[in-house]
């Protein structure tokens, strides 16, 4: 049974180009897809879903594209609030979110606050996020505490962005690329990987069920000899 699903939402730009649309329209379609997949995850009994929306490297993209993405973040936080309240979805974010523009931060914080008591699905959006940046930030928090005792893996985990959320069981990457792209480098240590050529805007409940069926046929050993059937 999957408790935590992580997704690298790739292919928005290519989806748009194939249809003669702007990259902005691809990102807009990708934002809409999050809601449908979140509802499908709820139906599947998944408790946590983390999506990679904007990386620390994405700031290097053309200014117009970044501006569009920041606007979509604000729109998503506002437009999806009624659905989140109805479906019991709690919104959270991870990453260096203080780097986001004021309007995007304000919209996100309002929705985070209003959905804080929802408990059916914890939807975490990674924004201005990088796996290496998360590890560096954790190390700097440890240094700031002037800690002298040795640090265990469990200790280190407590300094990450979302230490209360269990590690992902399954990572889905859409768009066909086969790399982690600096996403949840610590947390994905023993996650199962599922890559599909389907672009993110076309990823729906049917596609999610394919991924879950693949996961169901895996045998997870977590580095040991005992097999755990899913």
Question: Three-state SS for 177?
Answer: coil
Helix (H) or strand (E) holding 15: helix 12-18
Q: Which two tokens stand for residue 50?
A: 């983390």
Residue with tokens 């986001």: 100
The reported pLDDT for the residue numbered 218 is 83
**Rounded mean pLDDT, 159-171:** 98
As a whole number of angstroms, the distance between CA 135 and CA 139 comes to 6
Regarding the domain with residue range 4-130+167-218, which homologous superfamily does it belong to in the CATH classification? Decaprenyl diphosphate synthase-like (3.40.1180.10)
Over residues 6-64, the pLDDT tens digits come to 999 999 999 999 999 999 999 999 999 999 999 999 999 999 999 999 999 999 999 99
pLDDT category of residue 201 using cuts at 50, 70 and 90 = very high
**Rounded mean pLDDT, 120-133:** 98
Q: Which of 13, 34, 30, 31 is nearest to 22 (CA)?
A: 13
Q: Which two tokens stand for residue 165?
A: 């959320």
- Residue positions counted in the chain: 230
The reported pLDDT for the residue numbered 215 is 96
Of the chain, the percentage scoring pLDDT greater than 70 comes to 96
Over residues 66-86, the pLDDT tens digits come to 999 999 999 999 999 999 999
Of the chain, the percentage scoring pLDDT greater than 90 comes to 93
Kindly report the pTM of this predicted structure: 0.94
- Asked if residue 49 lies in contact with residue 7, where contact means CB atoms within 8 angstroms, the answer is yes
Angle, helices 23-43 vs 63-79, to 10°: value is: 30
Where does 58-182 have alpha helices with state H? 63-79, 81-87, 102-114, 131-144, 153-157
Q: Is 49 exposed, middle or buried (0-12, 13-18, 19+ CB in 10 A)?
A: buried
Residue 168 above 50 pLDDT? yes
Over residues 187-198, the pLDDT tens digits come to 999 999 999 999
Domain boundaries, the chain: 4-130+167-218
Q: Which of 222, 214, 211, 201 is nearest to 11 (CA)?
A: 201
pLDDT category of residue 228 using cuts at 50, 70 and 90 = low
Distances (CA, A) of 35 to 39, 71, 87, 126: 6, 17, 11, 15
Per the prediction, the chain carries an average pLDDT of: 95
**Active-site amino acid positions:** 10, 58
pLDDT category of residue 229 using cuts at 50, 70 and 90 = very low
Phi, psi (rounded to 5 degrees) for 200: -55, -45
Residue 152 above 50 pLDDT? yes
**Rounded mean pLDDT, 115-136:** 98
The reported pLDDT for the residue numbered 230 is 45
The reported pLDDT for the residue numbered 225 is 54
């Amino acid at each position: 049974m999957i408790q935590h699903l992580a997704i690298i939402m790739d292919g928005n730009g290519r989806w748009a180009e194939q249809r003669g649309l702007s990259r902005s329209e691809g990102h807009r379609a990708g934002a809409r897809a999050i809601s449908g997949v979140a509802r499908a995850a709820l139906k599947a009994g998944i408790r946590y879903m983390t999506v990679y929306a904007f990386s620390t490297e994405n700031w290097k993209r053309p200014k117009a594209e970044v501006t569009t993405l920041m606007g979509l973040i604000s729109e998503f936080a506002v437009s999806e609030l009624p659905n989140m309240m109805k479906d019991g979805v709690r919104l959270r974010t991870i990453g260096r979110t203080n780097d986001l523009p004021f309007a995007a931060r304000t919209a996100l914080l309002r929705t985070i606050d209003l959905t804080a008591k929802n408990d059916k699905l914890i939807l975490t959006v990674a924004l201005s996020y990088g796996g290496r940046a998360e590890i560096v930030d954790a190390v700097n928090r440890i240094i700031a505490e002037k800690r002298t005792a040795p640090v265990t893996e469990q200790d280190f985990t407590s300094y990450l962005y979302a230490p209360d959320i269990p590690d992902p069981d399954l990572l889905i990457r859409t768009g066909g690329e086969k790399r982690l792209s600096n996403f949840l480098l610590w947390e994905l240590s023993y996650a199962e990987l599922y890559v599909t050529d389907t672009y993110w805007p076309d990823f729906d409940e049917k596609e999610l069920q394919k991924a879950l069926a693949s996961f169901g046929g895996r045998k997870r050993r977590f580095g040991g000899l005992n097999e755990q059937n899913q």
